[in-house]
Chain A
Amino acid sequence: MTARATPYLVCLLGILWREALRFVYQRGRFIAALVRPLVWLFIFAIGFRSILGVSIVPPYETYITYETYIIPGLVAMIQLFNGMQSSLTLVYDREMGSMRVLLTSPMPRWFLLLCKLMAGTFVSLIQVYLFLVIAELTIIDLPLAGLVLLFPVLVVTGLMLGALGMLLSSTIRQLENFAGIMNFVIFPMFFLSSALYPLWKVRESSNLLYWICVANPFSHAVESIRFTLYLKPDPIALAVVCGSLVLFFALAVLGYDPKKGLVRRRVAD
């Protein structure tokens, strides 16, 4: 490793370490993040099993139970909520002032934001794999090779949803405004996607809703996870996720640029 690269690595490891410490100290946050998808899996999915049958659609090669269908959606939901939680943390950090410590580091700002993004994704990976282990041990059979292959895909989907959260955090003035994110971002993104129902079923009901679901990057995150989990990676869905990641992160970096960004007044408040 070159001497030039070392401070960057030190900085990245420092931010990852701090996020890990925060994660350890905030056990409630971790439990809440885990309980949410488990409630969906053990109550909602099992309750709807008999009503919502899922026919044979790729990547599945046979009829599946509803809880099998929604596993990828719940995995993406963990990452979506984690991304928004990170965004909340960024707003909190800005209000509490610790964001200033980060932004006055001599490292490039885009790099600092990328480190924050990676730290948030790292936390989401722990949550996702713990959820998958619980699901595997209780009601679902998941292919082991799929779980391994899923790792890089989860990194990309986690970064994409984290970048979206970061972009949103650059536009939120106060912590209190975060409730709006729940109503106008998280819920629409989750429900207007293939997380809970296949899109061909949505199309049967409404063509407009179908196209909204198709345009939703969260749908592509769900499908990337679904297809990879069953060892049939979907390159188009992955490309959309990667493209969204680049777009959201670039806008987030602009948002945090004091020359162009939306946060320029807030940091000096």
Chain B
Amino acid sequence: MTDLGPIKVSGLSYSYGRKVALEDVSIAVRPGRFTALLGANGAGKTTLVSLLCGLLASQRGTIEILGFDAARNLRAALRETGVVFQQQTLDLDLTVQQNMTYFAALRGLSGGRATERIQACVSRMGLDGREGEKVRRLNGGHRRRLEIARALLHQPSFLILDEPTVGLDVEARAALVDHVHALCRQEGVALLWATHLVDEVWLDDDLIVLDAGRVRAAGPVSEVLAAQGCPDVLSAFRKIAGMSGTNASVEAEA
């Protein structure tokens, strides 16, 4: 993987007290590419996501988002970043439109510009006609779509999704993965998709394998598979985790 991508993380480390969560992590995410951050539970994915969006401050290393150093200019970096958290963050008592309007206001968008963007994003995520519905009435898959629509509202160049398929049934999960892959290609957005499910990683994606807080492999999926001499992502992950001695496991749901 090139290290000249617009999103660059170099030598990033983070500890919770004595517990090391990330150790010397260096990654890059390229525009228009679906980059899967694959790791077992506890590998450090959510810590990395929290650092990328400024919820945690890095203790060592640097994060650069489209030329903005996140430590020095977090606000400029956040302007270019959209995030979908693992935990759902919608206001269930508000409608689709109200949730979007609130988020638009947090980004300083209002009036015609906000209305236009809300309509475009809701439509882009296939939620047309549901603007007046309370979020509580949406199913899990549609709530996730709404969160992605919300994250796209300010037209970010970098989109982070932290285990966005958690809690979805197989069908909704597959539909969401398809939808986001298409979105990434069509919008040209640099996309980081944190997951522990190998079947969400496609052969033409970029892959970062995170295990016990360290990057064990990174690059286009085909190159990682070739380097490991494995036919698929699951066996490559098992081999990598086995070599590192952690024997962490990921899932291959059908």
Contacts and interface: CB of A to CB of B under 8 A. Distances in A.
Contacts of B78: 104-106
Interface string A5-33: 01110110111011001100100000000
A264 B56 contact: yes
Contacts of B243: none
Contact of A104 (B55, B98, B101): B55
Nearest to A269: B46
Nearest to B114: A10
Interface stretch (B1-9, B89-97, B169-177, B189-197): B89-97
Given A22-B93, A97-B89, A267-B50, A106 B107 contact: yes
A53 interface: no
Nearest to A102: B106
A98 B81 CA distance: 17
Nearest to B94: A21
A104 B53 contact: yes
28 contacts: A7-B109, A10-B105, A10-B108, A11-B106, A13-B105, A13-B110, A14-B101, A14-B102, A14-B105, A15-B102, A15-B105, A15-B106, A17-B102, A21-B93, A21-B98, A22-B91, A97-B85, A98-B89, A100-B55, A101-B106, A105-B106, A106-B76, A106-B78, A258-B54, A258-B55, A264-B56, A267-B56, A268-B56
A164 B91 CA distance: 25
Given A7-B108, A10-B110, A13-B105, A108 B75 contact: yes
Nearest to B49: A268
The number of chain A residues touching the other chain, given as a range, is 20 to 34
A104 B105 contact: no
A268 B56 CA distance: 7
Nearest to B89: A97
Interface in B100-149: 101-110
Contacts of B104: 14
Contacts of A265: 16
Interface of B: 16, 46-47, 50, 53-57, 75-76, 78-79, 81, 83, 85, 87-91, 93-94, 98, 101-110
Given A100-B83, A101-B89, A106-B78, 7 more contacts: A6-B110, A10-B105, A10-B108, A14-B106, A14-B110, A97-B88, A264-B57
Interface in A78-119: 96-98, 100-108, 112
A268 B55 contact: yes
A17 B108 contact: no
A7 B16 CA distance: 35
Interface string A40-60: 000000000000000000000
Contacts of B47: 268
A10 B111 CA distance: 9
B198 to A, nearest CB: 24
Interface of A: 6-8, 10-11, 13-15, 17-18, 21-22, 25, 96-98, 100-108, 112, 258-259, 264-265, 267-268
A14 B55 CA distance: 22
Nearest to A22: B93
Contacts of A101: 89, 103, 106
Nearest to A258: B57
Could you say which of A8, A25, A100, A101 has the most chain B C-beta atoms within 10 Å of its C-beta?
Answer: A101
Nearest to A260: B57
Contact of B50 (A8, A13, A98, A268): A268
Contact of A107 (B93, B102, B108): B108
Nearest to A10: B110
A98 B83 CA distance: 12
Contacts of B79: 106
Could you say which of B57, B76, B88 has the most chain A C-beta atoms within 10 Å of its C-beta?
Answer: B57
Contacts of B50: 267-268
A10 B110 CA distance: 7
A258 B98 CA distance: 29
Nearest to A14: B105
Contacts of B88: 97
A109 to B, nearest CB: 9
A22 B98 CA distance: 11
Nearest to A99: B89
Contacts of B87: 96-97, 100
Given A15-B105, A97-B89, A107 B75 contact: yes
Contacts of A105: 78, 106-107
B55 A103 contact: yes
A101 B150 CA distance: 10
Contacts of B56: 258, 264, 267-268
Contacts of A15: 102, 105-106
